[in-house]
Structures are given as structure tokens and as C-alpha cells.
Structure 1
């Protein structure tokens, strides 16, 4: 197995996780990636849509593109209540119960950041009793309690907060002594960190084919890779989280090949080439199907892309909630990518 520089990859991952980037508000995260690429001496191109692409030239013919996304779940302010608390509109697909109690940052038009917490309208069990437990967590009953002395809508407006401001959920990243990484937004900052780790390795040992990395900024709302994939791409491998749960084979300690999701099956031949690369690298590859999932690969195909698409990724527990993976899965994903492009499978 070709070793990924794990300390480097983890450093990038933790910094990315600490950089808010809800869908539509990804500029700071993209700048972080650009800065790291500049330090590596790798030029990059930002598309008009805000995605980022870079390449490492290969020693032979062929062009493989890996796509991942840096945008995350989040929210926007959709209204200010008379109490001064905020109503939210969701960005991406998540259950409101998974963000209850989460700290947030409200990003105002002036650049000011105001912190707060997502709560429901019956938060105190001492006041509401059983009515709290019976409350269905949905958008209409959730609000942001700001960490400012606000007692009216006017007080909140005076802070510079208004409808349309972006709201990011705190990632709370942690690296445990046992090698687990837990945080919000491992989907899909784990893949982006792996991209940089793989890039660093390929600069020292060029791949057998030219490799592009494409980081999208609208995947969580379904159209991230609908445009922007390099025109000379021969094949696209989307790299995203592998979802873990009952009835699934994916694991926090492994890389997974997803052969089908809600958009249907991925390319069989490309999937088989990835299986062959895993065998060559000594990577224990899991294979899975996700019924409530789609990827940048799906978006590219739906937009008319004429090349094979596959999907791989590290196993992530509690997807779209407070997530967790293991360094084993990060390492295995990087090793699989390196083997695939170095050996020209």
C-alpha cells in the first residue's frame, strides 16, 4: 500500500473543518485550498461558479479527474422573530433533530460574525414537560438564540443581521488518541484533504496518466459538478463519504466503492478497474449501495457528461449529523487513488 502523508492530510483536514463553508458561502475554504496549492507550487483555476481545479501531469496518455466538494450543510436566515431570534432555511438535506443544540455563526453582509445556538421553541423541559418530548423537530419550530442582548427584531437588525445571511454550524473537529476524527462536515472535507495529500505525493512520483482534482461548491444542493469538469476528462471518479449503517457494508476503517445510489448504477468497467487497483495496493475495498444518496458524479452525468463515472470514499458514521471516521479510512482512500493513477489500471 502506498503511504499517504497522514500528518499532512490531517492538518489540512482540521483546518478545513474549522473554516465555515455552507453551500453558497465557500470562498474562505476555497482560498485555503488555493493557498496550500500555492505552497506546493501547483497552479489552480477557479471557475466562474466558484469551483477549483488543478492538475498533475502524467508520464503517459489518459486523463482521470477526481471530484469532491468543499461545500457543507448549513442554513440561511429566512426571518427575524419578534423576540429577536432567527428563523432558518436549510441548505442541504438533514434532519433538524441533528442540529438542535448546535452552536452556529451568522455571517452578516458587513462581515461581522454573530454566534448563537440552534434551539427549538419549547427548549426547557422544566417549562414544557411532556410537550417538549412530543415536539416534532422541523424547520417551523427551530430558531437561533443569538449570543447578544437582543429582545426584539429591531435589536437583531441593529446587529446587521438580515434575511439571506448565511449560517454555519460549528464543526467541532476532534482527533482522538485512537485515530478517530469526529466533526461535522467530514462530508466532504475529508476527500478534499485527501486530494491535497495525494497531490503532494504525486509531485514526488508522477502518475501514469494526467490527474485532475476538481473541488465543487454546490454539491449539497445537487448541481456541484454539473459544470466545470475539465473538458479532456476520460473518466471521473467522485470521492465522497461512504455512509455507514444497518444493512451497509461500509466501515469507518475502510474505503468503499459505491456501485449504485439514488441515481442508479455507476460505470461497471470503471468500478472493476478500481477493484483491480485496490487488489494491487493491498487495500481491503468495501462495496456498497446507498439508496438515499447522490454525488457529484450523478450531477455530471445528469448534465450530459460523456465519460464513465465511479464513486469511492472513506467510511463516515452518522452522515449529515455529527460525523466520525478513522485515519485508517483516510489512508486507504489515498492509497487506492495513488495506486489507480500510478499504475495506469
Structure 2
């Protein structure tokens, strides 16, 4: 199978999904977008009460079920308070690296449906004014949103309909380079969610059936810890498709698919992980096996919820996670191939 012929489809759908603001708890538009794509391809598609999108693919054996999951919720911010000068103080949603947000453009979503633009800045934003402009801490006590409206007081901001609890979503800045890199915020995990959409497209175009009944699950609360808690009850195995880690004491490169043997929550299923390694060798898929030192996934939420399900984790190597992220198309395609191999499509 020529996976590379689907790279243009991946780029198109990745751009579209990454452009939709969808911080955890604010995923309705992203959920609908993914739902519409899967349904248009002809798959049975449903939304759960908490917002997960579950796509059911008939297998050659429907008496046994497995699932693949990726999350479409992202990191974000929420209005915490309004300063006397009319700036918005912030509370993090998930765990963004706040210093990387200094200078980022953002959208502020009000409860009434209005959307305002702004910029996330240090409270000492000008070198000509503030002696600590370069070294003031970049954290939630020392950064705020400057709204692109004429406001000079709490009352001015309130008159716009902005209040504590409103979402602040910052720009992904998605770029595909000629050298094959995807650089963007929120590759974790919209890059992998797009791989799931691409796999659905491949199965439709090539008239392929997985070995077992398969759920492709797009979860919406992973960044805050419970995305995998409400997956289908009949699954026997879960393959989490999330970002692979690149960096200190790790072997994975951005061009590879990473197979995670263990993360913060503990080891992944030994037999599943071994099978993924063997499949990579068999199909000449460029891979690395690593232990992630500061990481958890949909599998952790699944297990904490008491589900008797084996689980493993794979994903493209991603550099700069929770900041300005980057991966390579080779890593994405290697992940897609391993997903297909796991489902016995190749």
C-alpha cells in the first residue's frame, strides 16, 4: 500500500483541524468537524455525552473489538480576573509552557458568543519602560492578555461581555516546510487525530477491513486527565496514538514512530508492546522504543476508571512538546503504517 499518496490529504486535514480552537472543555467545533468527516466517509459515527467522537469500523471478526484513540482537545487558557487597567489575567487549561506564550496572538471567547482578539504578554512588555522587561518571570502572575479593543478599566472590559471563565485560545501557527517538517502548536495530539482520519480515508478508498471490530476514538478531555475514561465498554485492547517524546535520555527522532514501553503511570501491556516492535521490524517501519519520564495518556484514564483493557502507546516523535512543537512527515507516515499493521490492514 502506498501510504505516501495520502500525504496531501493529511496536510489538508491537519491544517483544518489545527485551525479550530479546542482547548479542553471547549471542543464542540472540533468534535463536529471530526464527526462530519467520518460520517461523510460512510462510517457509523456518534458523539458521547462528554463529547468524544466514536467511529465504528466493522472487522472481519466482529466478536472481538479493539480501539485506537487520539485526542482533539488542546492546551489553553481561561480568564481568571480583569485588572484595573483592562488586562485579562489567566488560568492555564492543561499544562502549557507559559514562557513560550509571551507575544502570542489569541482569541477570547465570551459566553454570549462574541469573539475578541488579543495578545498574551508579560506585564513588563516594553524594554523602554520596564527595567525588568527581559527577566520578569513569565508565569500566570506576571503575564496577561492585552485585548484589541479600547479598554482602560474593569468596567470597559465587562462592557464587552468578557468575564472570568471565558476561554483564551492562542494561535497554532501551523506550517509544513519543504524539508518535510510539520511545526505547530497542538501537534499533541491533532497530528495523530488527523492520522486516524487518514486511516479512515485509506480503508474507505482501498475497501479494507481490519481483523477485528475497531473503534476510532477522538477524545476531548485528555489534557486534563480523563479523556479515555469513557471509551466503548466492549474493547479488549486500546492502542493510544499520541505524540512520541524526543529529547534528553530518549532515542526517538522526529522521523520515527515511537513505541512507549512505560510512562509516568507505569508500563504499557508487555505483549502488545512486543507485538508493535515485531510489526515494525516485519514491515520495515522506522521505530524507536522509549520510556517517557513525564507523560500520561488516555490509557491511564481508562485504567483508573476500572476498565479491564490491555493498552499500548505509539506516536510520531515530537520535539518541543507543550510549546512550539515539531515533527516530520516521515514520523507521521511511520506511525500511520504501524497503525495499519496493528489492524492487519497490511
Same fold (TM over 0.5): yes
| 1:156 matched residue in structure 2 | 157
Q: Deviations over 1:82-120 (max 9, x none)?
A: 111101110011221011111110011121110001101
Choose the corresponding residue for 1:212, options 203, 212, 215. 215
| Separation of aligned partners in 1, 2:345 and 2:78 | 45
**Structure 1 range deviating more: 271-280 or 21-30:** 271-280
| 1:271 matched residue in structure 2 | 273
Off by >6 Å, runs of 4+ in structure 1: none
| 1:27 matched residue in structure 2 | 28
Q: Deviations over 1:312-336 (max 9, x none)?
A: 0011111000111111111111111
| 1:107 matched residue in structure 2 | 109
Q: CA deviation at 1:343?
A: 5.6
Q: Is the 8 A contact 2:258 2:316 kept in 1?
A: yes
Q: CA deviation at 1:340?
A: 1.2
Q: CA deviation at 1:161?
A: 0.8
Q: Is the 8 A contact 1:2 1:335 kept in 2?
A: no
Q: Is the 8 A contact 2:229 2:302 kept in 1?
A: yes
| Separation of aligned partners in 1, 2:262 and 2:277 | 15
| 1:65 matched residue in structure 2 | 67
Q: Deviations over 1:23-47 (max 9, x none)?
A: 0000000111011112211121111
Q: Is the 8 A contact 1:238 1:295 kept in 2?
A: yes
Q: CA deviation at 1:2?
A: 5.5
| 1:174 matched residue in structure 2 | 175
Q: Deviations over 1:99-143 (max 9, x none)?
A: 1111110011121110001101111112223x2233222111110
SS for the counterpart of 2:259 is strand
Structure 2 residue 6 is matched with structure 1 residue 3: no
| Separation of aligned partners in 1, 2:190 and 2:135 | 35
| Separation of aligned partners in 1, 2:168 and 2:202 | 36
| Separation of aligned partners in 1, 2:148 and 2:20 | 20
Q: CA deviation at 1:208?
A: 1.5
Q: Any stretches of 5+ residues in structure 1 without a counterpart?
A: none
Q: Is the 8 A contact 1:2 1:339 kept in 2?
A: no
Q: CA deviation at 1:245?
A: 1.1
| Separation of aligned partners in 2, 1:325 and 1:33 | 22
SS for the counterpart of 1:190 is helix
Structure-1-length-normalised TM-score = 0.96
Q: CA deviation at 1:189?
A: 0.2
Query: How many corresponding residue pairs?
Result: 342
| Separation of aligned partners in 2, 1:281 and 1:207 | 17
Q: Is the 8 A contact 2:88 2:145 kept in 1?
A: yes
Structure 2 residue 16 is matched with structure 1 residue 44: no
| 1:116 matched residue in structure 2 | 118
| Separation of aligned partners in 2, 1:276 and 1:57 | 25
